[in-house]
Amino acid sequence: MLQNMRQNIQGPTTKIVVWLIVISFSIFGIESILVGGGGAGVAEVNGQEITPQELQEALNTQKRRLVAMMGDNIDPAMLDDDVLKGEVLNSLISRKLLMQTAHDMGLVVSKRDIGSLIGSMEQFQIEGVFSPQLFTSVLSSAGYTPSYFKKTLNDDVAMTQLRSGLVGSEFVTPLELTLGATVDAEQRDLRFLTVPLQTFLANQEVTDEEIAAYYAVHQDDFRTSETVVLDYIELTPDQFKQPVEESAIEAAYQEQIKSTAYQTENRVAHILFEAREGESDEARAQRVADAQAKLAAGADFAEVAAEFSDDVGSAANGGDLGFSSGDAFPPEMEEAIAALSENQVSAPVQTDAGIHLIRLTERREGKAPAFEELRPDIERQLQLAQARTELLRTVDELRDLAFNAESLARPAEELELTQLRSEPVERNQSEGLFANPALLAAAFSEEVLEQGHNSDVIELGEDRFVVLRLHQHNPPQIRELADVREEIEATMIEQAARAKVAEEAERIVQALADGADIEKLATDTGYSWQVELGAGRRSTTVPQEVLAKAFELPMPAEDTSLVDFVVTPTGDAQVISLLRVYPGRLDALEQQALVSLQRQTSGEYANLVNIEFQRGLRERADISVN
């Protein structure tokens, strides 16, 4: 029945219904369906609403962060809105509380400061100079508008001011530093003896009966991994590359040398006068005249831009807008730029953005490379463009054919593609094509694994697509005793040896507690031992397991020692005898260690203040979540 439903979905009636739904989305807006038309907030903080749009923007931002951190290895389940929503909404509430507090304290950030900050960001610079085009492009690719980015940045700076004030209000007293040094710079004298696992491994024997009994009790430990063998079709642009006619390469070359990359480029700076709220045309004209007067008097253009320009992005960089080859700026600006000589300033130019005074700072003539120099790149680009077109066409056909097909053989045959077969794939596959989380999720999905359908055509990024189908399912099975006998024997021998190591360590601990000399014990048993005087918490000459255990022990009484042991991950036992403890002294710290202690203590206190401050805000706030 499910297969019939899948086939019927492709029918003409269903396609018409789907098309009508698409039209309704385009007319009324998908937001009205996803978040409701009433505009009800998802939460309210002290009377201020957090809208569904704010929550969705924050969710999208968090998803981008996760993808950027984990790349193709990210588990798709981590990007589910239901998984992220609680944490993201909680973060929005905290942010709203902090912004309300910053506003109540009168903390503000000027447009000029925001402009300076944006202008100094390396991700918006080309060769160290702010680029408006790059600024817009980077934000667009990240899903931001310039206005939204500036608002978010404004809020972040205000909250940073608030946090800085909190941190700055906290300080560490000399007494607190002294107490911190007592613990942090503490030193200990100790001796430790190593009981090696290797000594006991060779002396252990395991009978067949013991192996069989172990196998009977631990059969679940010897199950094979669940695997699937998959039939699949993979599509990449390389499969569709074809030779390109020479005439097409020549035509593309001619087009390329006419492009902006090889045209004369003009680097310009400007001073922008926006129409300010409540300002008359005469008042704005006077601002323009004042700026022109300063320039005429010999004032530096960058200084005048910093003083007068309303373009916060460029004002901090002398008004610099970067290079244009005739199409980067509005036509009115480009016309004025073309008429300027180097270092000449234009008359006022009116555009939709406002009034501009434009200075041409550099003009460089473009020169196109020779045909033979560009030919290989052009040929590759044309091949790739044609291949991508054919790839996407084939992907669309494959989607339709694979949706209803009983296997992948017919779609592969009709589209002249190669059906491949995988090696066994585990649920936690970590290597190869099927380590991709999207493919793993599809391979072990109910639709593929249990219902036997073809998967959707899955896009892996970088123009790679895969459709798969189950060929063979291998459920977990208990391995035969004969296959795991050596593994069990090795495990049992190691377990027995580890038990002997612990027994021996306990014997030595008791002997030392009874007054035995550790050096004599080591000599009699052949074990190695070591003395460490004045070991600190960060000592690198003592094994970390020994160091951690030594600093866990209490201070021994005078003329006595405390003895204990720890088993390392490798199975060796370290018997530790703690002799003396020397409290740390502040006046004995080197300058670098003192600075480190001050920073560590200040950071801990500042973090506590921040946590308690935000907790107090929440306790006093009126918060409701819908």
Average pLDDT, the chain: 86
Banded model confidence at residue 391, pLDDT cuts 50, 70, 90: very high
Q: Running DSSP on this structure, what letter comes out for residue 274?
A: -
Task: Answer yes or no: are the C-beta atoms of 342 and 265 closer than 8 Å.
Answer: no
537: number of Cβ within 10 Å:
15
User: What one-letter code names the amino acid at 347?
Assistant: A
Banded model confidence at residue 572, pLDDT cuts 50, 70, 90: very high
Residue 286 to residues 33, 193, 283, 293, 312: CA-CA distances in angstroms?
A: 50, 87, 5, 10, 20
Looking at the predicted structure, is the pLDDT value of residue 127 above 80? Answer: no
Tokens of 406: 């009983």
Q: What angle do CA 463, 472, 216 make, to 5 degrees?
A: 125
Residue that the structure tokens 């439903």 belong to? 5
Banded model confidence at residue 262, pLDDT cuts 50, 70, 90: low
Q: Running DSSP on this structure, what letter comes out for residue 562?
A: E
**Sequence-distant (≥ 6) Cβ neighbours of residue 358 within 8 angstroms:** 268, 269, 270, 333, 336, 337, 340, 345, 346, 349
Task: Give the N- to C-terminal CA distance of the chain in Å, as an integer.
Answer: 40
pLDDT at res. 117: 86
pLDDT at res. 301: 94
Q: Do domains 227-244+372-474 and 264-364 have the same CATH topology?
A: yes
Q: What angle do CA 159, 165, 167 make, to 5 degrees?
A: 105
**Sequence-distant (≥ 6) Cβ neighbours of residue 438 within 8 angstroms:** 76, 458, 460
> In the chain, pLDDT over 90 holds for what percent of residues?
54
Domain edges within the chain: 1-34, 174-182+589-625, 187-221+481-582, 227-244+372-474, 264-364
- Helix, strand or coil for residue 383? helix
The CATH architecture that domain 227-244+372-474 belongs to is Roll (3.10)
User: What one-letter code names the amino acid at 140?
Assistant: S
Banded model confidence at residue 53, pLDDT cuts 50, 70, 90: confident
Residue 343 to residues 172, 267, 293, 322, 346: CA-CA distances in angstroms?
A: 56, 10, 16, 14, 10
Task: Answer yes or no: are the C-beta atoms of 34 and 44 closer than 8 Å.
Answer: no
Task: Answer yes or no: are the C-beta atoms of 485 and 553 closer than 8 Å.
Answer: no
Residue that the structure tokens 């610079």 belong to? 125
CA atoms within 13 A on the CB side of 145: 4
Residue 337 to residues 111, 352, 408, 622: CA-CA distances in angstroms?
A: 27, 17, 60, 56
Distance CA 615, CA 609 (A): 10
Looking at the predicted structure, is the pLDDT value of residue 25 above 70? Answer: no
Considering the entire predicted model, what is its pTM? 0.53
pLDDT at res. 12: 41
- Kindly report which listed range (29-43, 152-166, 228-242) carries the lowest average pLDDT score: 29-43
The helix-helix angle for 146-169 and 591-620 (nearest 10°) equals 110
Element (H, E) at 524: helix 518-525
Measure CA 5 to chain center.
Answer: 40
Is 264-364 a domain of CATH 2.130.10.30?
A: no
Looking at the predicted structure, is the pLDDT value of residue 322 above 70? Answer: yes
- Number of residues that this document lists for the chain: 626
pLDDT at res. 237: 93
Distance CA 275, CA 353 (A): 8
398: number of Cβ within 10 Å:
23
Task: Answer yes or no: are the C-beta atoms of 172 and 605 closer than 8 Å.
Answer: yes
User: In this predicted model, which residue has the larger pLDDT, 45 or 324?
Assistant: 45
Task: Answer yes or no: are the C-beta atoms of 204 and 604 closer than 8 Å.
Answer: no
230: region left, alpha or beta (phi > 0 left; psi from -120 to 50 alpha): beta
Q: Running DSSP on this structure, what letter comes out for residue 446?
A: I
Banded model confidence at residue 369, pLDDT cuts 50, 70, 90: confident
- Kindly report which listed range (135-144, 173-182, 388-397) carries the lowest average pLDDT score: 135-144
Residue that the structure tokens 């004369």 belong to? 264
Distance CA 426, CA 387 (A): 33
